């Protein structure tokens, strides 16, 4: 029987592969009498409205089945937004106090029909809590099945892991994109919002859907490091400040290095030799800045560092190029 990991830090820096923003979809559940399966993948932890009722009973912000009166258990099949190696899950029973399940387990598959492989063994669930479980599976999966025993309600479900996408050599694409296998690995600060937002699909929906640092009161500047999906030659860069009006950076620049397979994180980044590929450029509010002729060709690179001077917010960062090697 699995036991909760106990700390959200266990999944720090990992991607929610089931996120709606990445295309995750709750496909089918055996029972959703009180509340729909689609709520599992929504942002946040779910809300409580004690005075709201619907024809089936109390309104709840999550997936909730009816009370089971026969043997068996309830389940929901979810198509991940991106296939990946699953490192753990968060089964959040926020606001589900007298109606949370007693146990859960999670299965993985590469189609909605299976065959299914258990990746998180059956483990106990606490009401009104984020229940975190690790997975030892090393395979990539495209679908998961959340099982709850015997019935009840779950507010949100997160599937943390690493994207498993293999771009082909010679292919031209956004080398930094999460959907292609890019990953935000380190940054100087992300007080207001996550560095991972830089490489998410689309242009976002509001100011919170970007990377924003606190106001810098000392010397220096803020930065974020992206490990590219594969080493490649950078041909074009895009720095998008959409929705950042009074808090966009004054200027931005980009450095890069070639260190495939190396750990480049917040503790080790200064051990590497970075070379400039975009000299410092003036930026503007709410603008999609595109740089092509300004980009310096230094050969194939595996990591890029976006520098913002002195601080501020950037919505998206695109690194267009061709995979080499």
**E strands along 45-139, which residues?**
53-54, 57-58, 63-64, 74-92, 103-109, 117-124, 130-134
Question: Quick one: 250 and 157 in the same domain?
Answer: no
Q: For residues 132 and 94, what is the distance between their CA atoms, to the nearest angstrom?
A: 13
Question: Quick one: 85 and 176 in the same domain?
Answer: no
Which range marks the domain in which residue 71 is found?
8-163
Q: Alpha helix (H) ranges present in the chain? A: none
Distances (CA, A) of 140 to 28, 102, 238, 278: 21, 28, 30, 35
**Do β-strands 275-282 and 117-124 pair in parallel, antiparallel, or remain unpaired?**
unpaired
Q: For residues 45 and 59, what is the distance between their CA atoms, to the nearest angstrom?
A: 15
Sign of the alpha-carbon dihedral angle for 293, 307, 183, 259: positive
CB 271 within 8 A of CB 216: no
Tokens encoding 15: 């991607």
Residue 1 in any domain: the answer is: no
Among 119, 104, 116, 108, smallest CA distance to 153 is for: 104
Question: Quick one: 125 and 192 in the same domain?
Answer: no
Query: How many separate domains does the chain show?
Result: 2
Question: Quick one: 55 and 152 in the same domain?
Answer: yes
The last residue of a domain, from among 120, 135, 163: 163
pLDDT of residue 6: 53
pLDDT of residue 12: 73
The last residue of a domain, from among 163, 189, 207: 163
pLDDT of residue 40: 98
Tokens encoding 16: 């929610």
The last residue of a domain, from among 114, 146, 163: 163
pLDDT one-digit tens code per residue, 169-208:
777 899 999 999 999 999 999 999 999 999 999 999 999 9
Question: Quick one: 121 and 251 in the same domain?
Answer: no
Question: Quick one: 70 and 180 in the same domain?
Answer: no
| Positions in the chain short of pLDDT 70 | 1-10, 325
Question: Quick one: 156 and 44 in the same domain?
Answer: yes
pLDDT one-digit tens code per residue, 37-66:
999 999 999 988 888 988 888 889 999 999
């Amino acid at each position: 029987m699995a036991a909760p990991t106990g700390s959200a830090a266990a999944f720090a820096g990992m991607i929610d592969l089931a996120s709606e923003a990445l295309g995750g979809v709750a496909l089918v559940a055996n029972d959703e009498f009180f509340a729909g399966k689609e709520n599992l993948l929504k942002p946040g932890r779910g809300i409580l409205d004690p005075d709201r009722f619907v024809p089936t009973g109390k309104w709840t912000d999550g997936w909730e089945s009816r009370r089971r009166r026969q043997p068996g258990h309830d389940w929901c099949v979810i198509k991940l937004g991106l296939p990946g190696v699953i490192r753990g899950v968060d089964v959040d029973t926020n606001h589900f106090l007298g109606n949370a399940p007693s146990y859960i387990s999670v299965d993985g598959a590469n189609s909605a029909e299976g065959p299914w492989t258990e990746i998180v063994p059956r483990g106990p669930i606490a009401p009104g809590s984020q229940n975190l479980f690790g997975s030892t599976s090393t395979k990539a999966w495209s679908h998961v099945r959340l099982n709850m025993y015997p019935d009840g309600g779950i507010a949100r479900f997160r599937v943390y892991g690493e994207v498993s996408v293999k771009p082909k050599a010679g292919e031209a694409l956004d080398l930094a994109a999460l959907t292609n296998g890019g990953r935000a690995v380190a940054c100087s600060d992300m007080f207001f919002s996550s560095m991972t937002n830089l490489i998410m699909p689309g242009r976002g929906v509001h100011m919170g859907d970007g990377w924003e640092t606190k106001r810098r009161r000392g010397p220096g500047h803020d930065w974020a490091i992206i490990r590219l999906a594969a080493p490649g030659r950078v041909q074009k860069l895009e720095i998008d400040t959409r929705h950042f009006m009074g808090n966009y950076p004054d200027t931005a620049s980009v450095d890069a290095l070639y260190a495939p397979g190396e750990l480049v994180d917040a503790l080790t980044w200064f051990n590497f030799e970075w070379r400039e590929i975009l000299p410092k450029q003036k930026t503007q509010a709410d603008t999609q800045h595109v740089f092509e002729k300004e980009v310096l060709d230094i050969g194939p690179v595996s990591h890029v560092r976006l520098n913002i001077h002195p601080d501020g917010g950037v919505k998206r960062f695109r690194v267009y190029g061709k995979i080499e090697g």
